[in-house]
Amino acid sequence: MECVIGGWTAGQGGRTKTLGALLLGVYRDGKMVYSKGYGLANLEENVPVTPQSVFDIGSTSKQFTAASILLLEKQGKLSLNDDVRKYIPELPDYGRKVTILHLLNHTSGLRDYLTLMDLAGINTDSVTTDEDALQMIFRQKALNFAPGSDWLYSNTGFFLLSVVVKRASGKTLREFAAENIFLPLEMTHTQYRDDHTSLIVNRALAYDVKEKGVGYRLDVSYFEQTGDGAVHTSVEDLLNWDENFYSAQIGGKDFLAEIQEQGKLTPELRAKIEATLEKNELEDLYLPYKPKRRTKASIAREKGLEPLRRCR
């Protein structure tokens, strides 16, 4: 493992260019059996990645938004079948009921606000807020499709869930998740970052290669809206979250069953998917997953990388 991952972060095939940073944790029986950071968390200060480094986990933040909604359901403050307009009446009436469950399952038909911002010429590398996102969504007079009739990955849905949390609980998603998830599970380095000026101890910064491939530039999010992203956490904290799927400390067994339940397709959506998928893809969709035989070399080629030299 040390040879493979160390080679990936340090460069391949004699290349000296750093390929990135990586924080790896291996859990077994509720314990961390291996953890190590590779690469740099801060290029300017030459700070290495360590098991205590805190990363922006991007869209995988959505699981904590979903968990917050399900905890509010357990508290009796909402129902997954509620019309979203019960909590966000400013949302246009599209003639079809858009439910909280539709938002969770990416089947609402609501247009993606990040795509809309790009189309509107808004620089999404700059500071954006809840109000910016809401106003973009409220201006949409139609849906991409009738709720429940199709599936389309939606940042809009999960951002709106953060607004539902705030209006149903009286607390921001940052506050609610801290009180009901992160603190009880002792995830002391985990938070929703809803203020672009806030400081985070041990934060790993993100970078992108400059044009022409010479040097790097800072590439961090200045979004202040949450729900679809914005969680910052460490591999050590995520161990506590993973362990909750066995201990049911937060939410209980019913909560765990619900958060892992697959969304159900409407007959129309299922027929549409089946009409567009080939037979082998349908088998992958409905049958237990069977991994295809892949070699390290083939995986590297898929990613456009040179295969790593064999570790000795």
Instruction: Look at 33-42, 70-79, 128-137 and tell me which has the smallest mean pLDDT.
Output: 33-42
Which pLDDT does position 263 carry in this prediction? 83
CA distances, 87 to each of 166, 176, 191, 254 (Å): 9, 16, 24, 25
Structural domains of the chain in order of their starting residue, each with its CATH number: 56-192+221-263 (3.40.710.10)
List, in sequence order, the alpha helices (H) in 148-292: 155-169, 173-177, 235-247, 252-259, 267-276, 279-286
Q: What is the mean pLDDT of residues 64-93?
A: 98
The whole-angstrom separation of Cα 201 and Cα 234 is: 11
Higher pLDDT, 228 or 275: 228
CB count, 10 Å around CB of 24?
A: 14
Which pLDDT does position 285 carry in this prediction? 52
State which amino acid sits at residue 122.
I
Report pLDDT digits (tens) over 29-40.
Answer: 889 999 999 889
CA distances, 308 to each of 3, 18, 291, 302, 311 (Å): 9, 14, 22, 13, 8
The whole-angstrom separation of Cα 300 and Cα 312 is: 19
Which pLDDT does position 277 carry in this prediction? 72
The whole-angstrom separation of Cα 232 and Cα 104 is: 21
In this predicted structure, the answer to whether residue 284 has a pLDDT above a threshold of 90 is: no
The gap from C-alpha 200 to its chain's centroid, in whole angstroms, comes to: 19
